[in-house]
Amino acid sequence: MARRRTLMVLSVLSGEKAVTDAVTEAQISRQLYYQLETKALHAILRALAPGAEPTGTSGADGYTKRITELEEQVKQLQQDRRRSERLLFLTRKMVKKGPLASETRGRPRKAKSSSTRPGAGASTASTPESTTTAAESPSTPSRDGASNP
């Protein structure tokens, strides 16, 4: 129906048919024809306006809609930026400055035990000069006369 009406209006505007012939052929009133012609001309103007989108909105309406969308996007991006800055601030507050990698690779080495440390004494095989055994008390005097702490 829309295509037939469009062809009718275009045939009258082009001079192919007279209005009387068009309304008689379409079986509509002259008043309805002029209403359709006015609507068609307004639609053509909206569609051909600079900046008109394919949806049929006029340039001003399209720009207003796009501006609103971009303002919402800016608002969201500002909120995301504030959130990211706050997370960065808190991360820097919690993580202390220092080297990013350890000086040695792999698992950290165990601390070497010394015969001068309190606790179980070193084995006799690891300290050939020592005459102290694990069974002896750590407070007993050593060979040089000093007691082990």
Average pLDDT over residues 8-23: 92
Assess whether pLDDT exceeds 90 at residue 24.
Answer: yes
Which pLDDT does position 96 carry in this prediction? Answer: 79
| Res 66: pLDDT | 87
Amino acid residing at 73:
Q
Say how far apart CA 123 and CA 114 lie, in whole Å: 10
Residue 1 lies in a domain: yes
Within a domain: residue 112?
no
* Total count of residues recorded for the chain: 149
Give domain status of residue 103, yes or no: no
> Do 43 and 61 sit in the same domain of this protein?
no
Q: Domain check: are 41 and 77 in the same one? A: no
Amino acid at 26: A
Asked if the structure places residue 107 within a domain, the reply is no
**Same domain, yes or no: 65 and 84:** yes
Q: Is residue 138 very low, low, confident or very high in pLDDT (cuts 50, 70, 90)?
A: low
Residue 121 in contact with residue 136, Cβ under 8 Å? yes
Q: Give me the percent of the chain exceeding a pLDDT of 70.
A: 64
> Do 61 and 44 lie in a common domain?
no
pLDDT in tens, 33-82: 999 999 999 988 888 887 776 665 555 666 788 899 999 999 999 999 99
Helix axes of 2-14 and 30-48: crossing angle, nearest 10 degrees: 90
In a domain, 114, yes or no: no
Q: What is the mean pLDDT of the chain?
A: 78
- Say if residue 2 is in the same domain as residue 29: yes
Q: Calculate the CA dihedral of residues 77, 82, 85, 91 and round it to 10 degrees.
A: -120
- Number of domains the chain contains: 2
- The per-residue pLDDT for 141 is 54
Confidence check: pLDDT of 90 > 80: yes
Is the per-residue pLDDT at 14 higher than 70?
yes
Do 8 and 30 lie in one domain? The reply is: yes
Task: Specify if 20 maps to a domain.
Answer: yes
Looking at the domain assignment, is residue 129 inside a domain?
no
5 occurs within a structural domain: yes
Provide the phi-psi class of 50: left if phi over 0, else alpha when psi is between -120 and 50, else beta. Answer: beta
The answer to pTM > 0.85 is no
Taking the C-alpha atoms of residue 101 and residue 109, their distance in angstroms, rounded to an integer, is 16
Burial grade of 8 (CB within 10 A; 0-12, 13-18, 19 or more): buried
Q: What is the pLDDT of residue 33?
A: 93
Q: Between 19-26 and 30-48, two packed helices, what is the crossing angle to 10 degrees? A: 100
- Please tell me the distance from the alpha carbon of residue 91 to that of residue 104, in angstroms, as a whole number: 26
* The token pair that represents 63 in the structure block: 């720009």
Do residue 37 and residue 74 come from a single domain? no
What is the domain extent for residue 36? 1-48
Same domain assignment for residues 64 and 43: no
pLDDT for the residue numbered 38:
94
Same domain, 39 and 1: yes
Do residue 29 and residue 68 come from a single domain? no
